Structure 1
Amino acid sequence: MEVFMEKKIDIYKHQKKKLKIENPKKVSVIIPNYNYEKYIIERIDSVLMQTYPIYEIVILDDCSPDNSVKVINKKIDEIKKEHPEIKVQFIINEKNSGGCVFKQWKKGFNASTGDYIWIAEADDSAENDFVENLIKPFDDPEVVLSYCESARIDGENNLIREKSDDLYDMCRTGEWNKSYIWPGEKEIKEHLSVTNTILNVSSVMWKKQDYTEILEKAGEFKVAGDWYIYFNILKNGKISWCNKPLNYYRKHGSSVCTDVKAEIEFNEICRIQDEISKTYELTKEIKDKQELRRSFMYPLLPKKDNGKKKIAWVIPHPGKGSGGHRTIIQNVNALIRAGYDCDLYFEEDGVSTSEIVRQKINDWYEKCDAGVYVGFDLKQEYDLMFATGWQTVEFVRKLPAKKKAYFIQDFEPWFFPMGDQYLITENSYRYGFLPVTIGKWLAHKMQAEFNTPAEYFSFGADLNVYKPLPKVKKENAICFVYQPEKPRRCDYIGLKALKILKAMKPDVQIYLYGSSMPATFEFECKNLNIIPIKECNELYNKCKVGICMSASNPSRIPFEMMSAGLPVVELYKENNIYDLPDEGVLLAQPIPEAIASAIAYILDNPQVAEKMSKFGVQYMKNYPLEKGFEEYLKAVKDMLETDYKDIPEIKPLYKKSAFLATEEAMKCSEELQKAQPIYVDNHGKTYRFLRRCKRVLKNILIKMGIKKQ
């Protein structure tokens, strides 16, 4: 489970007090602008609002066709009145520099008179204490570059991501979690030899030196010039990294960096990596990372026949926080690691480009090196094509591929009332696509009800995240996955069960989590809303029982709870008995009284709880995420190389009968029911007649199109 926050950045909201410093370092701020009339005022204000004194502002305009020059001149008049202590220069190019930003950087450096430089790009922004934090490391005279973490924002100042480690820490090493100052050579060999880890020049402060030759050479690059500059500067000095996200790096459709040809970028990556490799002796680990960085570009390069098996995916448009999309991307990445060539084709939304969808995938799920395309204009011939949901089946039926498969994550007909939509969705399993399912139950259902052989991959958990934490103190508490926006989560039955349990055991703390929807409850509890993955594991470690209910395919959550050593209560239904083990889970009859009884049984029997906990941890050691990927890869291999028919029968894993309601729970439920009065409508005939008239009138207006349904 992951948190996705919607937040708007407003640098004006919490202005910090100016520092009073005698003899501050002279900081020159260079603001190169081209066509950013919309953002230039906020950018200049972000400089003026710095807590550390600013010595000089140098604004450069590269022949902007919008009203930038007029807007900037007006702002400069204000600065001269309100900030007479700040030197201001405004340099307007008579001719556009031809898109080479480094010419503008060089011009800014030559014009500036300060000792320290901040190139603050016109469409970015910053926290008030950006300079205050980044100027401190220059107390060490060997530091030549000081930079910080960047939060990413869109064109309307909406926060896209609070950190940008998904772009620079491609191997998820966590090396940037702490601030540091170290030799430039170390930075070059360990980081810049692989990729440009300094993502945005606006996040950097420079010690002013003569960089003329380096800046001129950078002009040979279309994309990687800043990378070239950084590693050459750091040959003769130290670098400082601040892990605070003090810079706001704007990513939007008009950003210069989005209009780059992949082949040019790839060639420049290779050029810089090779140059550093010739200068420094690099370890095998670093050389492997260099190749990994290059591999990220392969799907974007012009298609060449590389002899790899080619797999296409047809996918609904991505949604923020979609667990289904996350699972798809994880398995696509498993295919790529195994040597398959993958392309993803997403349904049109009429707005997004292929580049935007790729960015969504990288930001919302995980980095993916497959080709990403909006629409169904196939780029090559495919050995295998996957449908990924009922709405994609018709597209896959029409598109050409040697074999066609179905990546099934749930029994989707159950999402709809019985009728046309139910049958249309159910029929998606009848077109002869080769199914691979998440979990055994769906594979069994394909075999038993649709006479379609199906392989499966097991539910797993990230054992690096979900694990016992001996130092976390156990509470007399339980936790319940509360997601009322998802009907299959059975929130009504779950809350009734918890109300009964609370009446039986008033001292038990009940934690709800999993939804940001506002709600009130009929019993005392603590609603944690959506919490980060790490906090989920901590919650599982401090609780005695976890309740996660699914009326369709099981969730990953019970498996993550077991990994953390938390006994689980789920529903005894067909969908759960094929995947959940009977030693780590209690499956209760799907009535509130039985669910409450199962929870109480575990709470009342510490030995049972201990046995379930130990079993769950041991059981899940055999089911890391990697096991599911291995099983999935085997299924794909079988699809491509066999007739996909010799698949053994799948049998239930859970052998026990359903846990039934205790007499205590039934009596408690009856008492609670008695305390709840039955509503009696005492309105007379006239009122009822008027209500009928209102209903008839409403139906007439709907049919006439005057009122919406």
Structure 2
Amino acid sequence: MTPRRRRRGLIERVRHRTPRYLAQFAALRLVHLLGARELEFPLLPDDLADSQSLPPFSPPAAPGRPLRIGWLTIPPGPGSGGHTTQFRMMQAAERAGMRNTLLLYDRHAGDLADRIDTIRTSWPWLSADIRPVPPEIRGFDALVATSWPTAHVLARRGREGQRAYFIQDYEPYFSPRGAEYALAEDTYRFGFRNIALGQMVRDCLRDEAGVGSDLVPFGCDTEVYALQEHGQRRRGVVLYARQGTDRRGFTLAMRALEVFHGRLPSEPIHVYGDALSDAPFPVVSHGNLTPSELNDLYSTVTAGLALSFTNISLVAEEMLAAGVVPVVNDSALARADMPNPHVAWALPTPHALADALVAAVARPDLDAHAAEVAQSVIGRSWHETEQQVVRILADTITPSPHSTG
């Protein structure tokens, strides 16, 4: 083929593409050519640990002062549900007289002041000191990993203190079967005291990784998320958009909403979280919302998509608290910690999910049903979870005579 014909062919292929598509395609090609996907790996090479060859550490003597706890975490973005839950546990420890430090692990050494500002702005109630993870972590009575990368960092850099692992999901499932899957799964064998949030995590640790754990229950924030009356009929549906997190089913959700819009075009579709600029149907895009703003939005809609292909999303029960019917992909993993009868379970296909949304908005008794849905979670909170985590941490540092951890 001559250069002239190649140029004509290229022009023909791209002339009907949008500028956004062309920019995305060029960026994708550049990522491939430069091997930039290597930068997505969340750990520096020296921070990789191995359960078969762990560095030594020194457990401290029982202190005669307030306990000092270091919590290792990846820097969060605004609205991160997993970080919100972790920070709740930290505040409970603070109320119990413990002294907390949040140790940020940033593989790419981003601007620390910017990271701290995000945390202080998004979680202004968090009172812990915030520091970067040092090359050697000392001066703590206990250190807590909160994700598989931070478990590796703790194993490699933690030099003293008892070690615990607050586990909110079975994180090997975040990756295809391969190296990252194996590295994530190995963290559960590091010998830390595993604290499993919910039945699904406890069962997967036992059945998949062959390790035990302390079970603490899922909670729900029913102080912020609650039924509100606006004097107007509820209309439409809502989606929490997480485009870069495949286990939250964004691509599937968008196709389901497209089918839903084709069947009920007058029903509004609200999206929060990631901003959408090119949806194939009309959307009301809200971007990131504070919890109180989100509860206000929930009070106006009938149903929402709360997809999760590992542990159940916190979004599902928060929707229930506000009177919204959560439509969730039917899965034994998601069902393990969500026995509520008002969840609309559906096969994870576009049409099955759209059917569940249509059924929810087509009810003749929307307001009465919203009140019934909200009533089903009254009394739920994070209090029991917080108290159990605090007890486990205290027992890890100063074991009781009957401790099994």
Q: TM-score range by the shorter chain?
A: 0.7 to 0.9
> Alignment partner of 1:576: what SS?
helix
Residue from 276, 291, 306 that aligns with 1:533? 291
Aligned amino acid, residue 124 of structure 2: E
CA distance in structure 2 between the aligned counterparts of 1:368 and 1:393, rounded to whole angstroms: 22
Structure 1 CA distance for aligned equivalents of residues 284 and 76 of structure 2: 32
Name the residue aligned to 2:275.
Answer: 516
Other-structure match for 1:404 = 163
State the partner residue of 2:388.
631
1:602 and 1:609 in contact (8 A); partners too: no
1:363 maps to amino acid: T
> Aligned partner of 2:390: which letter?
L
Distance 1:438 1:615, change over 3 A: farther
Q: Would the alpha carbon gap of residues 605 and 323 (structure 1) be closer, same or farther in structure 2, given more than 3 Å must change?
A: closer
Deviation, structure 1 residue 421: 1.5
Q: 2:239 aligns with which of 480, 485, 492?
A: 480
What is the CA-CA distance between 1:588 and the residue it aligns to?
A: 0.8
Determine the structure 1 residue equivalent to 2:97: 339
Which residue identity is paired with 1:451? G
8 Å contact 1:432–1:452 — kept in the other structure? no
Counterpart for residue 386 of structure 1: 144
Residue by residue over 1:289-316, the C-alpha shift from the partner in whole angstroms, topping out at 9 and shown as x without a partner, is xxxxxxxxxxxxxxxx652233222223
Structure 1 stretches lacking a partner, 5+ long: 1-304, 647-709
In structure 2, relative to structure 1, the CA distance for the partners of 1:373 and 1:526 (3 Å cut) is: closer
Q: Distance in 1 between matches of 2:366 and 2:242?
A: 28
Q: What amino acid does structure 1 have at the position aligned with 2:164? A: A
Amino acid at match of 1:460: G
Change (3 A) 1:435 1:480: same
- Is contact 2:303–2:361 with CA below 8 Å preserved after alignment? yes
The answer as to 2:182 corresponding to 1:423 is: yes
Q: Per-residue displacement from partner, 1:320-356 (whole Å, max 9, x unpaired)?
A: 5544333323321210111123333332554656x77
1:584 matches 2:342: yes
2:124 corresponds to 1:366? yes
Q: Give the 3-state SS of the residue equivalent to 1:474 in structure 2.
A: coil
Aligned-partner residue type, residue 589 of structure 1: L
Change in CA separation of 1:318 and 1:596 when aligned onto 2, cut-off 3 Å: closer
Contact 1:408 1:435 in 2 (8 A): yes
Question: Is 1:619 the counterpart of 2:379 in the alignment?
Answer: no
* CA displacement at 1:563 relative to structure 2: 0.9
Structure 1 residues 438-494: Cα deviation after superposition (integer angstroms, max 9, x where no partner): 333112211222232223444434333211112341233222223323222212211
Give secondary structure in 2 for the equivalent of 1:342: strand
Does the 8 A contact of 2:304 with 2:319 survive in 1?
yes
Please report the RMSD computed on the Cα atoms of aligned residues, expressed in angstroms.
Answer: 2.9
Are 2:191 and 1:432 equivalent residues in the alignment?
Answer: yes
Q: Which of the numbers 219, 240, 248 marks the counterpart of 1:489?
A: 248
Q: 2:211 aligns with which of 434, 444, 452?
A: 452
Q: 1:585 to 1:347 in 2, by over 3 A?
A: same
Structure 1 Cα separation of the partners of residues 303 and 324 of structure 2: 6
Report the equivalent of 2:38.
none
Secondary structure, aligned partner of 1:542: coil
Q: What is the CA–CA distance in structure 2 between the aligned matches of 1:595 and 1:601, rounded to whole Å? A: 10
Structure 2, unaligned runs of 5 or more? 1-62
Deviations 1:557-597 (A, max 9, x none): 11111111112111111221111123121111111221122
Question: 1:321 & 1:582 partners in 2: Cα distance?
Answer: 25
Provide the residue aligned with 2:316 in structure 1. Answer: 558
Secondary structure (helix, strand or coil) at the match of 1:436 reads strand
Check conservation: 2:145, 2:154, Cα contact below 8 A: yes
CA distance in 2 between counterparts of 1:603 and 1:343 reads 46
- Report the counterpart of residue 548 of structure 1 in structure 2: 306
Gap change, CA 1:637 and 1:619, over 3 Å in 2: farther
Contact 2:72 2:143 (8 Å CA) reproduced: yes
Q: 2:172 matched to 1:413?
A: yes
Which secondary structure does the structure 1 equivalent of 2:304 belong to?
strand
- Does the Cα contact within 8 Å between 2:242 and 2:273 map onto a contact in 1? yes
Distance 1:507 1:461, change over 3 A: same
- Which residue is 1:395 aligned to? 153
| Cα 1:498/1:394, change in 2 over 3 Å | closer
User: TM-score, normalised on structure 1?
Assistant: 0.44
Give how far 1:379 is off. 4.6
> Map of 1:306-321 to 2, 5 A cutoff?
307-321=65-79
Question: What is the match of residue 47 of structure 1?
Answer: none
Alignment partners' CA distance in 2, 1:401 and 1:525? 52
Q: Whose relative contact order is higher, 1 or 2, with alpha carbons under 8 Å and at least 6 apart?
A: 2
CA apart distance, 1:424 = 0.9
Q: What does residue range 67-466 of structure 1 map to in structure 2 within 5 Å?
A: 307-347=65-105, 350=109, 359-376=117-134, 377-382=136-141, 384-398=142-156, 399-466=158-225
CA deviations 1:511-560 (Å, max 9, x no partner) are: 22221242221x34433333343332122112111221112222211111
Q: What residue is the counterpart of 1:83 in the other structure?
A: none
Quote the Cα distance in structure 1 between the aligned partners of 2:190 and 2:313.
27
Please give the TM-score of this superposition, normalised by the length of structure 2: 0.74
1:389 shift after superposition: 1.4
CA–CA distance in structure 2, aligned partners of residues 402 and 545 of structure 1: 46
Shift of the 543–375 alpha-carbon distance from structure 1 to 2, 3 Å rule, reads closer
Decide whether the 8 Å contact of 1:459 with 1:623 is kept in 2. Answer: no
Percent identical pairs in the alignment equals 23
C-alpha distance after superposition, 1:250-300 (max 9, x if no partner): xxxxxxxxxxxxxxxxxxxxxxxxxxxxxxxxxxxxxxxxxxxxxxxxxxx
Amino acid of the structure 2 residue aligned with 1:544: T
* Equivalent in the alignment of 2:51: none
> Take 1:409 and 1:380, find their aligned partners in 2: how far apart are those partners?
26
Distance 1:593 1:350 in 2: 44
Native 8 Å contact 2:236 2:269 kept in 1: yes
Contact persistence 1:546–1:567 (CA under 8 A): yes
1:469 to 228, 249, 254: 228
Q: CA deviation at 1:415?
A: 2.4
Q: How many residues align?
A: 338
Q: Give the secondary structure class of the aligned counterpart of 1:601.
A: helix
CA spacing shift, 1:462–1:615, aligned 2, 3 Å: same
**Matches of 2:79 and 2:293, distance apart in 1:** 17
Amino acid aligned to 2:88: Q
